[in-house]
Amino acid sequence: MFSKCHFFVLKIKRNTFAIIFLLFSISLLLFSKNNLPAVKSGLALWANSVVPSLFPFFVATELLMHTNIITYLGRKLEFIMKPLFNVNGAGSFAFIMGLISGYPVGAKIACKFREENICSKSECERLLSFTNNSGPLFIIGTVGITMFGNTMIGILLLLTHILSCITVGFIFRFWKSKNDTISINHNKKTSTQESVHTSNLGKILAESITNSTQTILLIGGFIVLFSSIISILKASHILTLASSMLSPIFNILNIPSSFSSSFITGLLEITNGIGEISSIPEKAISINIILTAFLLGWGGLSVFLQVFSITSKTDLSIKPYLYGKLLQGIFSAIYTFLAISIFPFFNFNL
């Protein structure tokens, strides 16, 4: 009897993904009434917000990779990047573009650096931990102005987001530091990227647009998929059950249980979760802001899987990214709490 039971458990483990995907397919049929509007909403979010804000940055990043700007920044910013983050100066390009552009540009550049031998494996993994961030356009424009209706909230969230990513980068300067001797050999290699000039401008522009289109379609697929998953979780009351399990933890932290469902949504997909959190009426709006800061730092499971799909094409480990984003979420929440407590002009409580 025990042997049969043990065999049955092993069989389930071996077919875990098949069972999950089958249940997902059945759920799509059972909850199609709720699912179809969610998918349309996800598509609208991607087409109206993500494509206009990210696609031009993807193309610009691809084009810049064919210039000498990485070498230039590497020389000029080596004195900051090496002592602070323990990566060579070229990593400043991933750091700057990751802050300006938003998810998942930083991770994409880090992986590109690995493919082109611009940084060593350990350096690229350090870059993964802190360069993939939410952009100012999303934090100030979408979150601050559109969702919270307050520019200063957006500025506060952006400042704590940047400060927390720098903190994580400094912590991860010790990641695989024993491999730094290998990194010196890697850095002697030259990039295989073709430099842009008049004769090949059309070719490089076409390649940049093609690569950027593939990435933006990948992001769109994840947004639509997670919009569908969240819809199913809500319709099947699984999200309600998960919220009730989280509520005791929120009670210990003096956070109203009304935030639990929205917070779980944000852990899965950042935009939907923050949108719900910002709309919860609370006199102590600092709770809404602090939870939003955590979600901005974490980025959501959807973004994590986007990055995972990019890193899977290289030999980079996803672990520093996972640990780094969890730490960034925590530091973002702490810094936001401290800023609200210390500086009166950041106290938005009614």
What pLDDT digit, counting tens, does each position of 256-277 carry? 888 899 999 999 988 888 888 9
345: pLDDT strictly greater than 80? no
- Pairwise CA distance, residues 292 & 321, whole Å: 20
13: pLDDT strictly greater than 80? no
- Domain presence at residue 17: no
Q: Are 269 and 255 in contact (CB under 8 A)?
A: no
Range of the domain at 285: 33-346
204: pLDDT strictly greater than 90? no
- Domain presence at residue 222: yes
Evaluated on CA atoms 184, 173, 167, 331, the torsion sign reads positive
Q: Is 248 helix (H, G, I), strand (E, B) or coil?
A: helix
- Identify which has the larger pLDDT, 345 or 119: 119
Non-local CB neighbours of 220 within 8 Å, separated by 6+ positions: 43, 46, 47, 50, 51
Comparing 16-20, 73-77, 127-131, 167-171, the range with the smallest average pLDDT is: 16-20
Q: Which of 293, 317, 349 is nearest to 133 (CA)?
A: 293
- Pairwise CA distance, residues 268 & 38, whole Å: 14
- Domain presence at residue 293: yes
Centre a 10 Å sphere on the Cβ of residue 181 and count the other Cβ atoms it contains. Answer: 9
- Domain presence at residue 2: no
**Interval 126-152 mean pLDDT:** 88
- Pairwise CA distance, residues 104 & 190, whole Å: 25
pLDDT band at 19 (very low <50, low <70, confident <90, very high): confident
Comparing 167-171, 204-208, 320-324, the range with the smallest average pLDDT is: 204-208
**pLDDT reported for residue 332:** 96
**pLDDT reported for residue 184:** 40
Q: Is the peptide bond before 37 cis (omega within 30 degrees of 0)?
A: no
268-305 residue pLDDT tens: 988 888 888 988 887 778 999 999 999 999 998 989 99
- Domain presence at residue 286: yes
Provide the domain count of the chain: 1
**Interval 165-184 mean pLDDT:** 76
- Domain presence at residue 252: yes
- Domain presence at residue 104: yes
pTM (2 d.p.) = 0.85
- Domain presence at residue 5: no
78-114 residue pLDDT tens: 888 888 998 988 888 889 888 887 788 888 889 988 9
Q: How many residues does the chain have?
A: 350
